[in-house]
Amino acid sequence: MSKPKTPVEVLDLIAKEKIEVIDLRFMDFPGLWQHFSVPARELDEAAFESGVGFDGSSIRGWQAINESDMLVKPVAESAFIDPFFTANTLVLICNICDPVTGEDYTRDPRNIARKAANYLKSSGIADVGYFGPEAEFFIFDDIRFDQNEHEGYYHIDSAEGRWNTGRVENPNLGYKPRYKEGYFPVPPTDSLQDIRSEMMLTLEKIGVLIEAQHHEVATGGQAEIDMRFAPLVEMADNVLKYKYVIKNTARKYNKTVTFMPKPLFNDNGTGMHTHISLWKGDQNLFAGDGYAGLSEMALYAIGGILKHTPSLLAFTSPTTNSYKRLVPGFEAPVNLAYSSRNRSAAVRIPMYSPSAKAKRIEFRCPDPSCNPYLAFSALLMAVIDGIQNKIDPGEPLDKDIYDLPPEELAKVPHTPGSLREALEALDADHDYLLKGDVFTSDVIETWISYKMECEVQAIDLRPHPWEFALYYDI
């Protein structure tokens, strides 16, 4: 099936495939896909231009109740047939517009991503920025959690979990990955091959190209499925399709998926290492004869990322749980340095291929709890700032971090230790995001206030279970 590119082609597809339902999807501010559905007959060519109305007051971080009316405008080239619904359903990703002015809504994350891509092109630096995220996740068999005035707990279970080697399973076969050793033995130790393959093939069927799938380092069902790189907005769309397919495929097998950065104590967390390159025509602008085969432009891009990493993390690692992953000892990128070898550096230069076309930089701090439209946009703006201001990234850090003497290690700056610190860094350092009106002051202020009130302060108010172990008998 060829991918539709225009409203007319979408309508032709609806008729050809006997589509019954149109599912209109858009991104809320913190980062969850939202949707509502209409009968297929309700979609005509005019709807792509005039939009479809809905109430925006209940969407997190959006309109106030007295200005709630909003429009979704379907994007024709985003169409795909849903692989899970019973009724034959066509999905259309939408942009959000103000019904009075007709303008794109400034707090719509997809609008911010579109502006970032356009700003790159208008800057003359490059035609397109390609992004390739490696989003990891856990496939669990059971999850229970609650918190109220007198108790708080979570309980995770996985048939693959190393903690279940002694459980009565009638029979317990014992093939459970050891902690930090899930990368990547063949079945039967890897029990999730078939589910991951179904996820991979389903993604391919809806147009998301996949390069590989495999078990990840942690026990208990950690996994990774790698998407082929794509331009910023398309890749952010693909991340949402990715999460949707992975969660719903797991649900078919009565399993559950989480993209939380650190659901398990004392094993590897879940990251989303993000590869970036800039191109003009068919030329990769990051390929050159400098360090690790990089161009001067690429080194300046690294300088921009490293300079702005503390504030970037407010978007790329945007949960309180993110900072339980960003700690030493778990292959976590906690050092604000770059290297072709060191996986604890915030920026790595992959050396898998000598080809100039494959040259890119890899920012290792992000995790898949992020809103990809905002995270990729913020990253691109840091890259542009580095290039425009020729920010020197300093010398690479190719030594073993863990063998560095304390006085040398003390000179290496580190990532923020909490979401509060990252939000404070964003408050102090966000001018680079405002260029080209990509992010607005309102977006920055709303993001900081929402995250502080709904997440940072909410966590601060609640006792932690380990506090009872530490302090109950004081």
Catalytic residue among 136, 160, 385, 455: 136
Catalytic residue among 251, 343, 462, 464: 343
Active site residue 325: no
The closest of 361, 152, 197 to 275, measured between CA atoms, is: 361
Active site residue 9: no
Catalytic residue among 275, 364, 420, 430: 364
List, in order, residues 6 or more apart from 463 with CB less than 8 Å away: 152
Catalytic residue among 134, 190, 226, 267: 134
Catalytic residue among 114, 162, 215, 273: 273
Active site residue 134: yes
Catalytic residue among 108, 216, 267, 455: 216
Catalytic residue among 224, 226, 267, 385: 224
Length of the chain: 474
Catalytic residue among 141, 160, 362, 367: 362
Active site residue 136: yes
Active site residue 348: no
Active site residue 273: yes
Active site residue 343: yes
Catalytic residue among 12, 42, 45, 55: 55
The closest of 182, 246, 190, 264 to 216, measured between CA atoms, is: 182
Active site residue 41: no
Question: 314 is written with which tokens?
Answer: 């407010």
- Catalytic positions are 55, 134, 136, 216, 224, 273, 343, 362, 364
